[in-house]
Amino acid sequence: MQLSDLQVSRLGESRFDSPLAHYVGGRSTNEYYVGEDDRILFDDTVELIRERGLPLEELPSFETGGPKQKIFFEPSKTKVGIVTCGGLCPGLNDVIRALVLELCTHYGVTDVTGFQYGYAGLIPELGHPTIALTPASVDKINERGGTVLGSSRGAQNPVAIVDRLQDLSIDILFVIGGDGSMRGAHNIVREVTQRGAEIAVVGIPKTIDNDIPFVGQSFGFSTAFGKAAESIKAARVEVEAAVGGVAIVKVMGRHAGFIACYSALASNDADFVLIPEVDFSLHGEHGLFNSIADRVKERGSAVVVLAEGAGQALLPAGDTYDASGNIVLSDAGRYLRDEIVNEFAKRDLLLTMRYFSPGYAIRSVPADPSDSVYCSRLAQTAVHAGMAGRTDLVVGRRRHRFVHVPIPFVTQANHSVSPDGDLWLSVLESTNQPHVMA
C-alpha cells in the first residue's frame, strides 16, 4: 500500500466560498474548516511507522473529512440524489434525514431527490417514481426503522444510471449501502468519468455486520449488537428455567462475527460463541457436543451464540446466489439445533432446546442514540465531501476522526474478526469456551 492508494478523486478546483462561514463567527477559520492538506495517518503506532522507513510526507494517510473553506458546487444551483441499497439496517432514516437537513438548511441546496428501491429506482423502465426530499418531509423519520426510500439488492446498468442522473441534472449522488453497493457506485463513477461529466458520487457505508474495512465502526452496528444482546439474555432466562436447557441464538454475520462477539460480551450470558473466522468441530474431546454436554452438567444450561456464516464447512456447500451475487448460506442454526437434539438423545441426556433467530427484528428497529449521533455526523461529513467536489469515496471514522476513503481501496477486502486478536481473546475469556473446539 502506498500514499497514492489513499488519494481521493476531485472533480476540479473549488471555486465558491462555503456558506458555512457564519458558523465560524469570531473564531479563526482554521479552527472550523478542514485544511485541503489535512491528513490522518493510516498507521497508529510508532513501530508500524518506523517499519515503513518513509519520510513523513510519504506515509500512507487518509484525507480528513469535514467542511472546506472553498467548495466546488454552487449551492443554489446544485441538485442532489440519495439512494439506499441492500438490506435494512438501523439508522438508514437517520442518515437520509441528516443529509437533507445539512444540504438544505446549512448549504442552501433546494433540490434533493430520493430514488426508491435501491439502484432500481434509477432505471426509469422499472417504474419507481422519485421522491422530493425536504426538511419537512424527513421530519421525524429517524424515529422509525427501515428506510423511507425503500431498498433492493442487485446491480443495475451504470450507463442507464448515469443517463438518468444527467436527465435530472443531478450533481451529487449519495449512495447508502454495503460493499456491493459501493462497487456499483464505483462503476457509476467510471461511466461519469468516461463522459467527462461533473457528477460527484459519495458513499456512506452501511453494513450491519460491520465488515467494511478502514472506516471504523459501521452505522447500525451498535444498535444491532445491543438488540442481539437482549435476545441472548432472553435465551439465558429460558434455559435456566428448564431441565437440561440449551439455546441457540443465531445472529447476523455472513463472513464476520462482530455482532456475535459484541452481543456476547455485552450480555455476558453466552457459554459459546461460534463465528465464521474460527472453525469448530462437532465431535472430539473439545468438540461442540462434548463442550455443551459438560457445560450443562456443570451449570445446568448452556447458551450458544451463532453467527449465520459459522459452521458452513459442516454442511453441503450452497449453489444458489442472491440478487447481490452472494452465495446463499446453508442454515447452520437449524442444522446445529437438530444435531444437538439427536446427540443428546443418543447420550440419553435430558434436553430442553430453545432456538432464537432475531435477525429481521434487529435489522428493522430504529437506531439507538449512539448510532443516531454517528449517522448524523457521517451524513454531515458526506455532504461536506460532496459539496467540495470529492468523488468515488466513502466516509468513515478512523480513530475518532472522520476520513475520506477511496471506494476501490475500501472494497478490496472484508473486515473480519482476527482469531489472534484481542476481541476474540475477550470472547474466550468471557465464555470460558475451549480455545480450540475439536
Q: How far out from the chain centre does Cα 80 lie?
A: 23
Query: Is 102 strand, coil or helix?
Result: helix
Cell 490522518, residue? Answer: 40
2-32 pLDDT, tens per residue?
A: 888 899 999 999 999 999 877 665 555 556 7
- Which region, left, alpha or beta, applies to residue 365 given φ > 0 means left and ψ of -120 to 50 means alpha? beta
Angle between helices 92-101 and 369-387 (to 10 degrees): 40
**Residues designated as active site:** 209
C-alpha cell at 418: 482476527
Q: What is the CA radius of gyration of the chain?
A: 24
What architecture does CATH give domain 221-364+419-431? 3-Layer(aba) Sandwich (3.40)
75-108 pLDDT, tens per residue?
A: 999 999 999 999 899 999 999 999 999 999 999 9
Same fold, 3-218+367-398 and 221-364+419-431: yes
318-363 pLDDT, tens per residue?
A: 667 666 566 777 899 999 999 999 999 999 999 999 999 998 889 8
- By DSSP bridging, strand 172-177 and strand 16-17 are unpaired
Q: Do 220 and 90 touch, CB atoms closer than 8 A?
A: yes
56 pLDDT exceeds 70?
yes
CATH code of the domain made up of 3-218+367-398: 3.40.50.450
271 pLDDT exceeds 60?
yes
374-424 pLDDT, tens per residue?
A: 999 999 999 999 999 999 999 999 888 999 999 999 888 788 999 999 999
176 membership: H or E segment, kind and range:
strand 172-177
Domain regions of the chain by residue span: 3-218+367-398, 221-364+419-431
